[in-house]
């Protein structure tokens, strides 16, 4: 689900694989109406 969305919306800057996984997890949490999430990207 997230792989296709990331590849089409991120054509200029290629994110590292772990960042793509983090973005995917956030999108899934938002889709599941989770109200509390912790995300740290450095």
Q: Tell me, what's the pLDDT at 5? A: 53
* Residue numbers of the domain that contains 24: 2-31
What is the pTM for the complete model shown? Answer: 0.62
pLDDT tens for each residue of 1-42: 575 555 555 555 788 888 888 889 999 999 999 988 888 877
Decide if 15 is inside a domain.
yes
Residue 10: what pLDDT?
A: 52
How many domains, the chain?
Answer: 1
Strands (E), the chain: none
CB 23 within 8 Å of CB 6: yes
Who contacts 33 (Cβ-Cβ below 8 Å, separation ≥6)?
Answer: none
User: What's the rounded Cα separation, in Å, for the pair 36 and 5?
Assistant: 23
Asked, for residue 40, whether it belongs to a domain, the answer is no
């Amino acid at each position: 689900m997230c792989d296709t969305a990331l590849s089409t919306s991120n054509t200029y800057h290629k994110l590292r694989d772990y960042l793509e996984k983090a973005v995917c997890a956030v999108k899934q949490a938002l889709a599941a109406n989770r109200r509390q999430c912790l995300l740290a990207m450095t």
